[in-house]
Chain A
Amino acid sequence: MSVVFYGIAALTVAGGLAAVLLKNTVHCALAVAVAFAGLALLFLSLDAQFVGFAQILVYVGAVAILIVFAILLTRGAEPVTGGVFSKSWLVGLVIAAGVFAVLGWAVLQSAHALPLVTAAPAVTVQDIGVALVGRYVLPLEIVALLLTAATIGAVIVALHEKERTR
Chain B
Amino acid sequence: MGVASPLAAYLLVAALLFAIGLAGALTRRNAILVLIGIELMLNAANLNFIAFWRYGPHPEALTGMMFAIFSIAVAAAEAAVGLGLVIAIYRYAKTTDLDQMNRMKG
Contact = CB atoms under 8 A, between A and B. Distances in A.
Given A84-B30, A150-B77, A158-B84, A20 B3 contact: no
Interface of B: 3-13, 15-30, 32-33, 35-37, 39-40, 43, 46-47, 50-51, 53-57, 59-60, 62, 65-66, 68-70, 72-81, 83-88, 90-91, 96-99
Most chain A CB inside 10 Å of its own CB: which residue of B27, B66, B77, B96? B27
Contact of B76 (A5, A111, A139, A147): A147
Would you call the interface of chain B mostly helix, strand, loop, or mixed? helix
B51 A46 contact: yes
Contact of A96 (B26, B39, B86): B26
Contacts, number: 259
B83 A70 contact: yes
A131 interface: yes
Interface string A36-47: 100100110011
Interface of A: 1, 5, 9, 12-13, 16-17, 19-20, 25, 28-29, 32, 35-36, 39, 42-43, 46-48, 50-51, 54-55, 58-59, 62-63, 66-67, 69-71, 73-74, 76, 80, 83-89, 91-93, 95-97, 99-100, 103-104, 107-108, 110-112, 114-118, 121-123, 127-128, 131-132, 136, 139, 143, 146-147, 150-151, 153-155, 157-158, 160
